[in-house]
Amino acid sequence: MKSFSESGLKSELLTSLERINFVSPTPIQHKAINHLMKSDQDLIGMAHTGTGKTAAFALPIIHRTHIEIREIQTIVLCPTRELCLQITNDIENYARDLKGFRVVAVYGGSSMTQQMSALKKGCHMVVGTPGRTLDLINRKKLQLDQVRWLVLDEADEMLSMGFKDELDQILAATPKGKQTLLFSATMPSTMHSIANTYMTNPVKISVDEGVRTTSTVTHGYYLVSNKAKYNFLRFYLSLHKDIYTIIFCRTRKDTAQLAEDLDREGFKADALHGDLSQRHRDRVLNRFRNKQINLLIATDVAARGLDVNDLTHVINYDLPDEAEAYVHRSGRTGRAGKSGECVCLLDRRDMKRLHFITRKTGIKFNEISLPDKAELIEKSLEDHTNNLLEISVEHREIIQHLPAIDQKLFHLSRQELIGRFLTIQLKDELNKGIWSQEGTRKTLDRKKPKEHFEDRLTADSGYSEDFTRFYINLGSKHKLEKTDLIGIINRYMKGSDFAIGKIEMLKSFSFFEVESSQEERVLKGFRKAMYDDQQILVEKSLPKPDLEKMKKQKTKKKKRK
């Protein structure tokens, strides 16, 4: 199938595709449409962000939908509000010329009454987030007994966000004879569990599994100390005047602080993180999409499902813990055949995690040389000179002192005066190594950065002083892995602005560490937590005993006897 015109889709759909300049299908669209147009067999599609998954499942489903029956024939589940709206908008564009077809979006952060009213009017397809979808099912406002197609889009993301229980309940409310379509970038163990439970002999299609990211994206890193990272970022952004980028940070706190610092220095930046209200979040996204700001500072969770085109760069201010998170980040640039750059700012301690990402994804990262002092000074001189040209002397408090200052400095030539002024302005660059440990960020009084997650897992000591150890009554017999437990912790603590330390998985129970400042938050968050109809019990645990010390004490006692 070289073009959509060869797909067998209804003429109304082809007309709509022509209007939005869809001519040739992407690989995932080619494979999925070929299968879904002629088969009711369940399907697992392995494809990453930006590969055209929505059209891959939506076009054949719309084609096969009975328009004359205004019942919900398709339910599409996705992880975030933004992705829900994006999918709905795409489907409306595909079905624009198909008279009578109707799709409804249901998601949190918006009026449930309006969504109930829209469902009551009748529709053929519902696109929803797990939480709101289950809520409407429980209220008996969303009936799925006539569903012919169930689509799980970005299923791995829904699981990593802790929606497994919701998905289990929603899937159980759908008919057994439906066709289930699961689209995902990865297949964690929990995904295999869903596939085994709710799918029948699924056919698996994938898009060149050896290609993990877009070929038009380059991947590079700068080795710069954590203390100098902010100063380097500021320098890098000033070199790329036309940059349009998402800058990823690890925590909500760092995201908000970095955006505030950059905005204070004249950059057009704003933050996107989990503490924002829906209205504030929409305002930030609209400003970014309209290019009123060109720097969006975001956490991974807040950016999930975000659809923004024409990004020139993706900047990893902090590396993610998981390789797949990096793939999702980098997939946001270099779309539609355009080139893009994915840049990482790394301290030497981050190299272990970069090697881990390379092993998992096959991505080759190129080290990019840092600008030397001469380049830095040249750029700083240019910036200060341009700023000087833009300043007008209008303050009376300054103007009235100019004659006295002129008399005091009259013996200096113009060149000497400019040289002395710029020497003051470039004091840090001239006297310190700006990319070294001395190049400390002045705008933010930070504590010493915590060790990264992977570093803590491989630390020699059995217990971290800055972390509290907790017992949880879930273990490997509950078919959990470390990544699953991390998802549960994130879900019940509601956010990512905290650090998780060492995790020990045992058969019937486990231990995990969370930074000590979050003790009360942990205990409160898990107070009524459930997992597979089992009450989760979380208690503060004592630190791991020092076995070597205990042996020595026993030896001493024996000698005394």
Distance (Å, rounded) from C-alpha 446 to C-alpha 443?
9
Q: Is 127 in the same domain as 55?
A: yes
Q: CATH number for the domain including 298?
A: 3.40.50.300
Tell me, what's the pLDDT at 404?
86
Q: Is 412 in the same domain as 489?
A: no
In a domain, 513, yes or no: yes
Tell me, what's the pLDDT at 325?
77
In a domain, 526, yes or no: yes
Tell me, what's the pLDDT at 458?
31
Q: Is 412 in the same domain as 345?
A: no
Distance (Å, rounded) from C-alpha 152 to C-alpha 171?
10
Report residue 518 CA to chain centroid gap: 23
What ranges in 316-435 are assigned the alpha helix state H? 323-330, 351-361, 373-390, 396-399, 402-408, 414-425, 427-431
Q: Between vectors from CA 232 to CA 308 and to CA 442, what angle results, nearest 5°?
A: 110
Distances (CA, A) of 323 to 124, 187, 274, 304, 484: 37, 13, 22, 15, 15
Q: Which residue has the tokens 């987030």?
A: 129
Q: Is 222 in the same domain as 198?
A: no
Distance (Å, rounded) from C-alpha 268 to C-alpha 22?
34
Q: Is 387 in the same domain as 296?
A: no
- Number of domains present in the structure of the chain: 4
Distance (Å, rounded) from C-alpha 116 to C-alpha 105?
10
Phi, psi torsion values for 196, nearest 5 degrees: -70, -35
Q: CATH number for the domain including 470?
A: 3.30.70.330
Q: Is 359 in the same domain as 390?
A: no
Q: Is 75 in the same domain as 113?
A: yes
Domain end position, chosen among 326, 348, 367? 367
pLDDT-flagged residues of the chain (< 50): 209-213, 437-464
In a domain, 462, yes or no: yes
In a domain, 189, yes or no: yes
> In this predicted model, what pLDDT tens digit does every residue of 280-324 receive, in sequence order?
888 898 899 999 999 999 988 778 667 777 899 999 999 987 777
In a domain, 446, yes or no: no
In a domain, 266, yes or no: yes
Q: Is 336 in the same domain as 405?
A: no
In terms of DSSP bridges, do strands 530-531 and 534-535 run parallel, antiparallel, or are they unpaired?
antiparallel
Q: Is 199 in the same domain as 233?
A: no
Beta-carbon contacts of 295 under 8 Å, excluding residues fewer than 6 positions away, are 237, 243, 245, 247, 259, 262, 267, 268, 269, 270
In a domain, 553, yes or no: no
Residue 521 — left, alpha, or beta (φ > 0 → left; ψ -120 to 50 → alpha)?
alpha
Tell me, what's the pLDDT at 548?
59
In a domain, 256, yes or no: yes
Residue 149 contacts residue 74 (beta carbons within 8 Å): yes
Instruction: Name the 3-class secondary structure at 91.
Output: helix
Domain end position, chosen among 320, 342, 367? 367
Tell me, what's the pLDDT at 439?
43
Q: Is 160 in the same domain as 88?
A: yes
Q: Is 239 in the same domain as 385?
A: no
Tell me, what's the pLDDT at 208?
54
Domain end position, chosen among 400, 431, 462? 431
Full domain range(s) for residue 407: 373-431
Q: Is 458 in the same domain as 356?
A: no
Distances (CA, A) of 251 to 434, 495, 496: 25, 9, 6
Instruction: Name the 3-class secondary structure at 534.
Output: strand
Q: What would the two tokens of residue 31 be?
A: 């494979």
